[in-house]
Amino acid sequence: MAVALPRPPRFDVGVALSGLAGGLLLWVFGLGVRPGDDPLVLFDGRGPLLVPLLVIAGCELLRRTAPRTALAVGTLALAADAMTRGSIATIVMYTDLMYAAVVYGTAATARRLPWITGVLTLAATLVPYAVWRVPEALLFGLVVAAVAFGPASTGLIVRNHRDAAEAARLRAEQTALLAEMDRVQAVTAERARMARELHDMVANHLSAIAIHSTAALSLDDPATSKEALGVVRENSVQGLAEMRRLIGILRDGEDDREPAATPTLDGLGALVEGARANGLDVVLDAAYGDVPAPVGLAAYRIVQESLTNALKHAAPGKVTVCLSRPAGALDIRVTSAHGGRDTPRAPGSGAGLVGMRERAALLDGTFEAGPQGTLWVVRATLPVTDILQGDT
């Protein structure tokens, strides 16, 4: 099966045609490199000049697609041209083949050709001078340098610059790709953080509103309905304040109003009182001392979400919130009655447990939640030693 040769680039076709046209013009006028009586001329006349010229012009078509083959055939054509009166066009096209073999050939070819042509140049300089002992013998080395070593060295310089430019382009593309990956990861992390904040800030109040508004609609007792509506109003106001705080954070200070301070463990008392106002029987046992701000915020949000889940899902009974400070960690434990309720008092999406687990994981802590007998237990351990050392 015949193998189709690659089509030569248009530039290479132009080079081949230009070299051939120049050589034919010199041939028409009978111009050669050496006179006909030169002892090195073995084939005198105008006819022998055409064969090397046509062959090396054909090699120019392969200067990029098959540079080593073009150089090998071109070298034979140059040797044949040396036995005739010689054509300057053939010599010029050969220098281009040498240059192209270094620029477009393999890396091994690009490394070896300058060395090989350099050794040939040195040999062509020293050997004729050692044999004939005349200064004119040094011209052989100059000719070899101009025809072989010079183009090969120039090609190596061009190739090195081209490779350096390509490496710089690839580094720039890689840097841009890494920057885009970092940007996407940062956006994803920020969206997850804002989703946790939005859920933790609003879900508690909206759950209380849903539960107490249902009670107000289902009971005929005006006093109870009024009390439930009061709880609904209080949670609406608090939820609106939390939303304004979140909007202030998102606007990054563009609003004239200062957003409320980030909640800390100092607000646990108020959080528990709010849960009691929503109908939970909460017992708080907290002894934690000083904790870093990230740990305090995560602990507050975990307790807040645990109380929200207890409000929606827990059976009647006590809800205990315990915070302790074993060595190097803050331990959080929230328990509530489990079982005895067919449906939740308010719908849930499961995002609360995901958010609590993410908050613990971001601080290299642990989190678990699930039934233990008749209790639903939420347990989180947040390390504080490394963070405190980093703060100091």
Tens-digit pLDDT profile for residues 181-240: 888 888 787 777 777 766 666 666 666 677 667 666 666 677 766 666 776 767 677 667
pLDDT recorded at residue 228: 67
Residues 6+ apart with CB under 8 A from 140: 124, 125, 128
Contact 214, 231 (CB under 8 A): no
Tell me the per-residue pLDDT of 146-187, one tens digit each, with 9 for 90 and over: 999 999 999 999 999 999 999 999 899 888 888 888 888 887
Interatomic CA distance for residues 164 and 287, integer angstroms? 63
Instruction: Report whether pLDDT(358) > 80.
Output: yes
- Higher-scoring residue by pLDDT: 289, 161: 161
Instruction: Report whether pLDDT(38) > 90.
Output: no
Strand partners, 334: 321, 378
Q: What is the mean pLDDT of residues 129-152?
A: 91
pLDDT recorded at residue 255: 47
Q: Would strands 375-383 and 318-324 be described as parallel, antiparallel, or unpaired?
A: unpaired
Mean pLDDT of the chain: 83
Global pTM?
0.56
Q: Would strands 375-383 and 329-337 be described as parallel, antiparallel, or unpaired?
A: antiparallel
Task: Determine the 3-state secondary structure of 262 from DSSP.
Answer: coil
Backbone angles phi, psi at 289, to 5 degrees: 70, -155
Strand partners, 285: 322
Q: What is the mean pLDDT of residues 46-68?
A: 93
**For the sheet containing 375-383, what is the strand order?**
281-286, 318-324, 329-337, 375-383, 366-372
Residues 6+ apart with CB under 8 A from 214: 345
Tell me the per-residue pLDDT of 297-344, one tens digit each, with 9 for 90 and over: 889 989 988 888 888 888 888 999 999 988 889 999 999 988 656 555
Q: Which of 82-86, 109-113, 220-224 has the lowest mean pLDDT?
A: 220-224
Instruction: Report whether pLDDT(278) > 60.
Output: yes
Res. 72 pLDDT band, cuts 50 70 90: very high
- Cα-based torsion angle of the residue sequence 338, 349, 233, 257 in order, rounded to the nearest 10 degrees: 130
pLDDT recorded at residue 211: 67
- Select the highest-mean-pLDDT range: 93-97, 180-184, 346-350: 93-97
Res. 257 pLDDT band, cuts 50 70 90: very low
Domains of the chain: 10-174 (no CATH), 266-392 (3.30.565.10)
The percent of residues in the chain predicted with pLDDT above 90, rounded, is 41
Res. 251 pLDDT band, cuts 50 70 90: low
